[in-house]
Amino acid sequence: MGALSKTKFGLTSGILWALDTVILGIALGMSPYIDTVEAIAFGAIASSALHDMFCAVWLFIYMGVRGRLKDTWRALRTRSGKVVVLGALLGGPIGMTGYVVAINNIGPGYTAIISAFYPAVGAILSYLILKERMSAKQLVAFFCAMGGIVAMGVLSMTDAETTGNAALGLVGAAACVIGWGSEAVLCGWGMKDDLVDNETALQIRETTSGIVYAAVVLPAFGAWAFTASAVPSAATGVVALAALAGTVSYLFYYKSISSPIGAAKSMALNISYSAWAVLFAFLLQGTVPTAGSVVCCVVILAGTILAASDWEDLFGRKGA
């Protein structure tokens, strides 16, 4: 149990991110995010922006209730806090916008397959920047988990996957992989500073992301009018609920990154959301998974846990 207790924060982040993903999917199936030309053009980017804005609001309330807003302001003025801002830009507006662009141009299946490799980029950067190492056995388990995600993406693909500019879609997917892979490493580096703990780092991250979405991304896509019109709707209330699950997920994720297991193993645990999402889709939407999806889920969960755990602690030390 000791080995599993070390993974509890990262694994919980994956479970809650899956809940966030499914709830957000429910919102995107509601008006005004469907059935209109504007929804097709702006729905995904508007929901992504509103999601991060709501996350920033939830964190402001959380930190305000705990009397910690002054700690965030103090952390923001440090060099490490500014590194977290850079991580926020890479993981939020750049990574998420790239993800949306990829989905709109090459489809969700191909996007899922490519974006599954962001933890590999993160693991390489963790080794180079944070000097984190994974054993050969952990790396094998890690790549098995990513293989399960790729297989799930293949199983979900349809004949009409490519829907737009393939080159633009690939650029978007690459931005997603690099952005998401860099975020955890940069934020992990920033949290080595005693003035930048996991909670202040997360508030900096989400606030930065929300502001940049509002000031840069939505105007760049010409999506502000649609976003504003979508706010007074039940669907946007569901987006806010998804953001609440996402906020708690991120609290556990950043707690895991700042713990001794580090950024690379935390990313490995976080991608377990691909498997948990299948469970939540069944519970909340009645979507029955295929046998192939169930096998992929088992591979993903086993791989992520084995990648982030000390195998001797997990299976018992020799001679113990």
CB contact set of 127 (below 8 Å; sequence gap of 6+) = 133, 264
Is the separation of the CB atoms in 53 and 62 below 8 Å? no
CA 300-28-103 angle, to 5 degrees, is: 60
Query: What's the average model confidence in pLDDT over 82-108?
Result: 84
Instruction: Give the ranges where the chain is alpha helix by DSSP (H).
Output: 2-5, 8-28, 37-65, 69-76, 79-89, 95-115, 118-125, 136-156, 166-190, 198-212, 218-221, 224-230, 234-258, 262-270, 273-285, 291-308, 311-315
Neighbours of 191 (CB within 10 A): 27
Distances (CA, A) of 45 to 28, 41, 92, 190, 302: 11, 8, 12, 28, 33
Is residue 188 domain-resident? yes
**Tens digits of residue pLDDT in 226-258:** 999 999 999 999 999 999 999 999 999 999 988
Coil, helix or strand at residue 131: coil
Residue 306 has pLDDT above 60, yes or no: yes
Q: What total of structural domains would you count in the chain?
A: 1
Start-to-end Cα distance in the chain: 15
Is residue 263 domain-resident? yes
Is residue 278 domain-resident? yes
- Looking at this protein, which amino acid is placed at residue 282? F
d(CA 320, CA 316): 7
Q: Which residue has the higher pLDDT, 188 or 156?
A: 188
Is residue 8 domain-resident? yes
For residue 157, the model assigns a pLDDT of: 66
Is residue 320 domain-resident? no
Residue 35 has pLDDT above 80, yes or no: no
Neighbours of 131 (CB within 10 A): 8
Residue 319 has pLDDT above 50, yes or no: no
**Tens digits of residue pLDDT in 198-216:** 999 999 999 999 999 999 9
* pLDDT tier at 195, thresholds 50, 70, 90: confident
**Domain limits at 294?**
2-315
Peptide bond preceding 119: is omega within 30 degrees of 0, i.e. cis?
no
For residue 73, the model assigns a pLDDT of: 92
Neighbours of 279 (CB within 10 A): 16
CA atoms within 13 A on the CB side of 241: 14
* pLDDT tier at 316, thresholds 50, 70, 90: low
For residue 214, the model assigns a pLDDT of: 93
Neighbours of 281 (CB within 10 A): 19
Query: What's the average model confidence in pLDDT over 61-78?
Result: 93
d(CA 221, CA 172): 14
* pLDDT tier at 320, thresholds 50, 70, 90: very low
Query: What's the average model confidence in pLDDT over 66-79?
Result: 92
Is residue 92 domain-resident? yes
pTM of this structure: 0.86
Q: What is the DSSP string of 72-109?
A: HHHHHTSHHHHHHHHHHHIIIIIHHHHHHHHHHHHHHH
Distances (CA, A) of 15 to 18, 153, 210, 231, 287: 5, 19, 23, 27, 17
**Structure token digits, residue 267:** 């990313």
For residue 158, the model assigns a pLDDT of: 60
* pLDDT tier at 2, thresholds 50, 70, 90: low
What's the burial of 1, exposed, middle or buried (CB within 10 Å: 0-12/13-18/19+)? exposed
Averaged confidence pLDDT in the chain: 86
Q: Which of 2-16, 100-114, 195-209 has the lowest average pLDDT?
A: 100-114
Is residue 204 domain-resident? yes
Place of tokens 């000791």: 2
Percent of the chain residues past pLDDT 70, beyond the cut: 92
